[in-house]
Amino acid sequence: MNTPQDPDKLAEVRQKIEELRRLLEQSNAISSEQLEEANTQLTVVAQALEGGHELSGSAETSLADWWRGAASRFEASHPTISGIMERLLHGLGELGI
């Protein structure tokens, strides 16, 4: 994982992470276990953004798998959450993450 260089893009991704956290916490569609897992995954992303931490190949694959599955689960029932997840993933991709 590369350390992001674009401060505007980094700020945008941070904003999307916090927006997604708020929406997930307000959602009645996920269990407390799913919310905990989502917060864990968002924390991994936030820490990587802040510290430029490298993710191992297996951690990166696990994170990508989680994001794809979560976006799928929310697509029909919570399109706003799904849309934010997609924009967040796009932003991470633009940062090389």
Q: Please give the model's pTM, rounded to 2 decimal places.
A: 0.67
Condensed to tens digits (0 to 9), the pLDDT of residues 7-16 reads: 888 888 889 8
Number of domains in the chain: 1
Q: Which two tokens stand for residue 18?
A: 């916090």
Residue 2, in any domain of the structure: no
What per-residue confidence (pLDDT) applies to 59? 60
Condensed to tens digits (0 to 9), the pLDDT of residues 39-92 reads: 888 888 888 777 655 555 666 667 777 777 877 777 877 888 888 888 887 787
**Residue 52 DSSP symbol:** -
Which helix (H) or strand (E) is 15 found in, with range?
A: helix 7-26
Contact 77, 85 (CB under 8 A): no
How far, in Å, CA of 30 to CA of 25, rounded?
A: 9
Range of the domain at 59: 7-94
What per-residue confidence (pLDDT) applies to 5? 60
Tell me phi and psi for residue 50, to 5 degrees: -70, -45
Residue 36, in any domain of the structure: yes
Residue 66, in any domain of the structure: yes
Residue 67, in any domain of the structure: yes
Residue 1, in any domain of the structure: no
- Indicate the pLDDT class of residue 2, thresholds 50, 70 and 90: very low
How far, in Å, CA of 34 to CA of 78, rounded?
A: 15
